[in-house]
A and B are shown apart, each in its own frame.
Chain A
Amino acid sequence: MPATEQQLRMGEKVFSTICNMLDANGFRYETDTSRSDPMITLSLKSDIFPVKVIIFVRPERELVSFYTPVQLKVPEDKRVEIALAVTMANERLIDGCFDYTLFKGELRFRITAGFIGSLPDQEQFRYMLGFSESAVKRFTELFLMLTKSVMTLEQFYEAIAK
């Protein structure tokens, strides 16, 4: 169902609020407003691995989704083990989750917020960005070690239980 005029206006406000938050924090980003769900893409600095964040504002659903792909392709012989690790990781999370495409061996972190009848503040989006970054940084190395057989599933479980 296409967005109503009111939803489109709210979507635009939310999009601007996110851009203002990114500007205020000195982030460089790219936007694509030609889509029905306007998109913002940015890369976060990291010493260990690149962290790319893709933000979608979905006016018709009145939702904002932050997706952070995990820079890792899971080999076929590790895909079941990573599925188990993903369930362990998600169980530990209080917000957001790791989505795992089993047949592709791809992982991404997802966090979503609604703006139904409410206009989120910049702080809300700063929280979502910060949470995404910390979740991905916390788990990517562990997922990587598991796929490279440097770590067992039991060791993974112990590491995230700390």
Chain B
Amino acid sequence: MLKSRSLRLPTMVAALLAIVLFAGTVVAEPTTVSVWTWRTQDTPIWEAVEKKLNEMGEDIRIEVRPVTATQYDAVLSTAMQGGQGPDIITSRAGSTVASYAASGQYESLEGKIDLSNFDAGTLAQVSYKGIPYAVPFAVQTLHIYYNKDIYSSLGLRVPKTWDEFISNLEATKQAGFMPLFVAGREAWTLPLIAEVVGATWLGNEWVKKAINREVDFTDEHFVGMLEKINEMKPYFQDNFTASNYTDMGIAFTTGMAAHVINGVWAHASYQTDNPDLDFGIFLAPGATEDITPQVYAFADGGYAVNAASKVKEAALKVIAIMATIEGGQIFVDVTKEPSAVPGVKAPADDIVLQEALKQYSEQPASPIFGIRSAFDMPPVSAEREEVEAYQGINSLLMSSLQEMLGDKISAEEAARRINDGLSWYFKK
């Protein structure tokens, strides 16, 4: 009896220990990392990344919260301000990264993630004062989409000169198609036109001079580029200011419109909306055949880590995957968009994406002048000296082009307004 009593305590302790240990193994929760995104199409990417991490022995669960694209910036800034932000932020590149980095809300990635693979220009769009704060995901390229069936039925070929392009527009108009469908009701689509035309017509040398403040946007070369856009205007569909982006997709995928100007991101939905649609992409041709057309490409965004995240280490592990070729390949396979990671291949059956990647690697406009360029990064709070309605070039292009295409102002006036709006850059 005494013996059994003396054994009781150690037995109980051992049993308790066993329960605690056993319970520990049962209730051990994986580390949950939250990701916010405006890109609803990205959810399968994170499923694949989670699987990959689990295969690597990392017990990490990724929780994705998609937010409507048009409300994303407002929702994110409010949440971050209130300390309720996600662990990983799908961040717009350029001024967004700069603002959050300057305020210490994004974690610096310097020395934490190997980003040496990335192109310096792309990395600059997710950096602040030379320090990277996000892993770039997509490089978006801008193109003129054309309907191959319409082209072959009218005996047209991909234009090699600007005049040939205008004559193609005329031919499609004569044949009863909408030659070029423009979503004029949504001002954000108008800078795409300027960026496609400007990539070729401004040229790298002029943009370099503008960045170095040797010329400004009132320069006749820039005005001349705007005039080229005006030359396309007679071929916009009737009442183009009343059409929106959805209308543009409908008009193109149903074969009503012969051309649209859009980013490479749209090609996958065009293919899904009408699998029988045979379409291709080309770049704005120059004045003569010997001028190589250039593609406007910009970093769409990057994956950043919230500096206030409680699971920072796990979050860094997650975005580190997206900096590898394997992560880039997951991105391309899911989204059918060009990955920012060099060396990632387009799927064999995706001709349009292959073409976009080819153009990007062979004929990129560099440096860029529009969205995500140096002109699109107005000073953040810490750099502001006086109260001013700071605007980046993309915002200025929206308002100026809308008025120019509405015949309310001339190309010279549009250029002057853009230049005035960029005084924060040229006064530096």
Bind each other? no
